[in-house]
Amino acid sequence: MPDARDIHLRFRTLAVLPIVLFLPTLVSFAVAEHGVVWPEYTGVLFHLAILFLIARMEAPVWAKAAGYSWITLDVLTGILAINGVAHDLTWPIRLGGHVFAGIWIAVSSAFAHRPVIRILGALTGVWLAGYSFVGNVAPEEALYPAGLLIVVWFGALALRYESTVRPPDTAADLHLLDARRIPDHP
């Protein structure tokens, strides 16, 4: 049976993985020509890596659903871009996904024990979602600070996140969790 340090280490790895996968995309903002496709490949992997964090972080089911919606829409737009769909079509879809990203990041951060995670999560979530509402008039460069904030937020998760919920180890543990959540009597 794994002890608490093993569980923490695994969470730490899950929080570092998106950083590693997002760094090439961040660098591409500064060095790549507008319209190049290669950052979309690492962007898709970045978003898929976040699925594991959504599942592990404490948050209401509706906030986790927002996180999964973000991943779905951003992976969709990445694959559309890889397959030559115009930026004018993919960009608004991506911004719609960022509204869901902002919800998940802000709400899941509110459930963190550490103030640094709560503050970074609120800033990141509001910036990411807020830009979506002005993206039609604001330059894309105004979204870049959210990219840096999300990397810092993932770093804070890796270093400081504490969960009070222990992941179930066996099918029997899953059954017990379900039994505790659903009362037998109204």
**Following DSSP, what letter does each residue of 23-62 receive, concatenated?**
HHHHHHHHHSPTT-SHHHHHHHHHHHHHHHHHHHS---HH
Regions of the chain short of the pLDDT cut 70: 1-9, 29, 32, 34-35, 163-186
In this prediction, residue 7 carries a pLDDT of 57
C-alpha closest to that of 109 among 69, 160, 49? 160
Q: Domain ranges in the chain?
A: 4-181
Q: Give the length of the chain.
A: 186
Evaluate whether 67 touches 50 at the Cβ level (below 8 Å). yes
